[in-house]
Each structure stands twice: as C-alpha cells, then as structure tokens.
A and B are shown apart, each in its own frame.
Chain A
Amino acid sequence: MSGNQAPEFTWPDDDISRVPYQVYTDADIYAREQAQIFQGPTWNFLCLEAELPNPGDYKTTFVGEASIIVTRDDDGAINGLLNRCAHKGALVCYKPCGNTRHLTCVYHNWSYDLDGNLAAVAFSKGVGGQGGLPDDFETAGHGLQRLRIETYRGLIFGTFSDATPAFADYMGPKLLASIDRVLIKPLKVLGYHSQMLPNNWKLYAENTRDSYHASLLHVFHNTFGIVRPNMRGGVQIADSGWHHRSYAERVPAGDVEIDKEKVRSLKNQYSLEDVSLMEHVEELGDTVTNSIQTVFPSLVIQQILNALAVRQLVPRGPDRSELFWTILGFEDDDDALLELRLKVNNLVGPAGFVSMEDGLAGGLVQRGAVADPAARTVMPMGGPGIEPSVGSRVTEAAVRGFWKGWRECMGI
C-alpha cells in the first residue's frame, strides 16, 4: 500500500447485524463492488425474454454500472454482451432497444454480429493500399465481451464470472419454487418507469429485505383500516442467505380465531372512497396477497395482489441508485384482469401508496450515515443470524443475509 492511501476497509468483526456506515459512502468500496459483486459470482437480472421475441431484437441494460446489450440471435438464442466496442470502448448500442442485423459502433463503424463476434472493420484494407489493419490482426479475438446467460421462467440473467453456480443452485430449491409460483405463464410487459433513489444501492437492497419496516413506514393500509386480521406471513431465506422472500397470505375464514378487539382497534375515521384497487383475483393458486422476492444482488420480483413487476437495481455512484420498474401481466390476461392490474399498480412504484416512502427512507439513512463512517447500524430483530421466520415478518434476518452475501463476494 502506498503512503497516501487510506487503509483498505475491513469489517471489524463477524457480526452481520452491525453494518459500518462507511459501506454506504465510500468510493473505494463502491468501485470494488463493481468488480466483486456485479462482475463477481452473481446472477444479474438483464431483462425479460418477452422483450426480445424475434431474432435481431436487442435491449440495453445494466450490470452494476456496466452497460450490457442483450440480443436474440438467428438461432433464437439469447446473448449478453458488454456494450463496449473492442476498438475504442464506445458504447455500441446507445439506443434502449430495437431490431438489427448487426451491432455497429457509430464511432468508426466496427460491426459485430448478434453473438458479439467482430464481423467487419471499416477500411480494414485501407484506402489505395495505404493504412488499414495489419496483416496479423485477428478479428476473432476482438469481439464484444460475452456474459454467461441463463434464462428462468422468462427472466434473463447474466454473469461475468465463471465461478457463478448454475442459476438453480444459486437460488436453492425454496426460492426457485417461489419464482415458479409467480411467473406461471408467458409474461407481457405493461410498461416501464424508473426511480432515482438518493441513496447507495445497498440501502434499497436492504429495504426490500427488511420486512420489519413494512407496516411502520408504509401506513396506508393501517390508516385506511384495510388490514385484515386473518393474515399471516413469513420470511423465507435461501440457505446461502443471499436471497429471500417475504410474503403475506389470507387465511381462510374459520382457520383462525379472529381477534375482535384487534379488528376494532384497526378501525378509525378514515376510509377509502374507492376500494377497487384493493381487489384481488387469486390467480396463482393460493391466497398469498403479497410476495416480495429478491435475487442477489439486484433483482426484486413483486406480487402485490394482482400487481406484478420486476425491479432492477442499478448503482449510480456511492450515494445514488436507480430502480427500473417493469410492470407485468400475463399474455392471456383479459380486459378485466388488465384493468385490475393497472389499478392495483397505484399501490407500488415511485407514486405508490405503499411504496413511495422507500424513496425517502434510503435517503434519510444516507444523510445520517455521513456523520461517522466508522459507526454502525444495529439490526437485532429476529436475530442474530439468518433464520427464516414463520408467522411473523418482524425480523431483519434477510437483511443480515444480504450482508453475508456481500461480505462473501467482497472477501471482507
């Protein structure tokens, strides 16, 4: 280590329930995350197969800060390519999506096929016998860098690392089954938007795993008396700790003793005029009303009543991140179900009745964290480890699981 460098960050002990604030603010840690998390042994959500139905379709996306092109080639296969021309490093695709025969960099017209192989170099023979590529230039070694790709239930994942296990092993059987539960049929994209978050990406990654905050920060349901007493829920956590699922389900009447006192205490003077956005068509074969699942490091799979979505988390510097929402339905939705999804979608997103505060909360922690980088958070709920929870979501176990994964990837 050279004399002027700050000492490399180390976690002070084994405790994953106490997170040093430095991890949310430090530029060096942020840079290491790009290499060791996003380009490390992780499966990163890229986009949906439904967005690339035809050969030649492409879409650009992100893995960490890196721009990625996803293509469907003439064989119908999906390719993930680093969006960086092998020549000078310019983005090859600067449009968000389209259909093309070749991926051609506009700067000097180096052109790649849909698999990322370098197909043509402008003026490769020079002009009038002058210039051009040297005779020993090998085009084969100058394609776009490829990612390993796996698709699962219409989701496309990519990884830079050879060390990443097969996706099914990465998730483990429990959390693979919970993807199966939601993505039961061919998907249809209903729309897109994104949300700039004034906080480090990990604060949102924690927030989605933090089932403890749900009814405390988001008081919409309580305020309008739409909490049902006959609800139960829990938190599933992958054996690795890296991924989780938090859920709530309606227990059939008669299965539980309804606490009438509790029902009364939930009643208050406020009510919604139009409760149609709280309707629920049980389309997934069970009575689960909410299911929020993470795939480490950057994906959330959401079912809130009939509002389905995937959320992709992209870091934008140590103190900012961007959350890309893709709102989903199924291909065979009828008009009534589509209308219901669009109404229920009012609950989620940047303007969502029960989610807009997530944009605020991370920013509050970010603003608090700068005061003392060495100080630590305190997350003891349901602890100290990564135990799953049945019957209660008052736990921070999945957040601790995230930190277990983070430390393993970072070697910290």
Chain B
Amino acid sequence: MNTDQSLRLRIEDLFTDYVHTIDDDRLEEWPDYFTDAGRYRIITRENHERGLPAALIYCDGKGMLRDRISAMRKANVFDPQTYCHTGGAVQVVGADDDGIQVRSNFTVIRTLSDGAMSTFACGRYLDRITEEDGALKFAERTVVIDSRRVDTLLVIPL
C-alpha cells in the first residue's frame, strides 16, 4: 500500500519506542501504547491460522493491560530475565475508519540471570493503529508467535 512517508516514519517510531519500553523494563509505560479499549493478544501461529481463538495472553482494555504488569511486579514469581527485541519488515496493509492495519516481524532474544540466552519468540505483529490526541496508539495488537511451544513461562509482554 502506498503510504505517506511521514506517517510511515511515525509508525516506525511507535514500534521502536514500544520495544525499547519493554526491553528497558519500563513496563508501567507499556499500557499507554494502547487506546483505552485496546486489545492485546499473544497467540500461536497454529491457532491463528486455524481460526482458534485461545491466546496465551488476552487483554481487553487498558485495565487488563495494567493488571498484567502489576501481577508481574507484585505477584508472579520467575527467573529474572530480559528481552532484546529486533524488528522489521514493516508493511502497511490497509487503512479504514477503524485505523491503519500494519504488519511487521519481530524476534525476541531472552537472557536469563545465569547468562543463558535463547531465541524466546519470533513471529509478527498484526496491528490496528489509530490516532488519539495527536499520538499513534494500538487499538489492537495481535502478537502471532511462530512456535506453539513456550520455554518455561511467559511473563514479560512481547
């Protein structure tokens, strides 16, 4: 799709800011990348392609996004770990009254406290992006992970 280059740059900035926010462990800011009614899902490629709705994480609205982070901070127990996101292949695939549809690829290398590194997840982001108060926000971000298999546990959002 032919996209205005300045809009394209703004989308790429949004994606860049998003991954740095996660990788820098500024997760309290993560829900603010979404609209108030924003939906966020992590779903396996198998489920996505077969039209099966179950997700590993499903947040419907900012409250659930914030709850994900507060649960991680205050309740859940896990090996200390960090992510490094790499992204690319950004493609604007459509636009209508509901927003701009964008797909892009990502890879996350996870590093554990003992130094073990692994390709924790790769796949694509399927996004619907809208403008709110002059800023681009995710009205919907579906994270489609290529593998059906999660190593040990998934606590930090992708």
Secondary structure type dominating chain B contacts: mixed
- Inter-chain CA distance A68–B113, complex, in Å, is 38
Whose C-beta in chain B lies nearest to the C-beta of A221?
B75
When the two chains form their complex, are residues B64 and A277 in contact, meaning their CB atoms are under 8 A apart? yes
Residues of chain A with a CB closer than 8 A to B11's CB: none
B149 near A194: Cβ-Cβ < 8 Å: yes
Binary CB contact string for chain A from 316 to 359 against chain B (1 if under 8 A, 0 otherwise)? 00000010000100000000001000110110011101001101
Given A191-B44, A220-B76; A274-B56 close (CB under 8 Å): no
Contact yes or no, A195 B78, CB < 8 A: no
Contact B74 A349 (CB under 8 A): no
A217 within 8 A of B: yes
Among B3-56, those with CB < 8 Å from A are 42-44, 46-47, 52-56
Whether B133 sits at the interface, judged by CB under 8 Å, is no
Q: Which of A195, A270, A343 contacts B58 (CB 8 A)?
A: A343
Q: Output the least CB separation between A366 and chain B (Å).
A: 11
| Residues of B with C-beta under 8 A to A353 | 71, 75-76
Chain B interface extent, by class:
35 or more
Expressed in whole angstroms, the minimum distance between the Cβ of A272 and any Cβ of chain B is: 5
Q: In the bound complex, do residue B47 and residue A193 qualify as a contact, i.e. CB atoms below 8 Å apart?
A: yes
When the two chains form their complex, are residues B78 and A193 in contact, meaning their CB atoms are under 8 A apart? no
CB pair B58 A346 closer than 8 Å: yes
The CA-CA distance from A220 to B67 in the complex, in Å, is 11
Q: With A195-B152, A351-B150 as known contacts, state yes or no: A270 contacts B74, CB within 8 Å.
A: yes
| Contact-residue size bin, chain A (C-beta under 8 Å from the other chain) | 35 or more
Out of A191, A224, A277, which one reaches B55, CB within 8 Å?
A191
Contact with B along A183-208 (1 / 0, CB 8 A): 00000011111111110000000000
Q: Can you give 26 A-B contacts (C-beta < 8 A)?
A: A190-B54, A192-B46, A192-B52, A193-B149, A194-B150, A195-B150, A197-B152, A219-B77, A220-B75, A223-B74, A270-B70, A270-B74, A273-B67, A274-B64, A277-B64, A322-B149, A342-B55, A345-B58, A350-B152, A351-B56, A351-B153, A353-B71, A356-B153, A356-B154, A360-B77, A360-B79
Given contacts A192-B148, A224-B71, A353-B76, 14 further A-B contacts (CB under 8 A): A190-B52, A190-B53, A192-B52, A193-B148, A195-B152, A197-B152, A198-B152, A217-B77, A223-B71, A272-B67, A274-B63, A274-B64, A342-B54, A356-B78
Closest 7 CB pairs of A and B: A191-B54, A274-B63, A273-B63, A359-B153, A350-B150, A327-B54, A351-B154
| B interface residue numbers (CB < 8 A to A) | 42-44, 46-47, 52-64, 66-67, 70-71, 74-79, 148-155
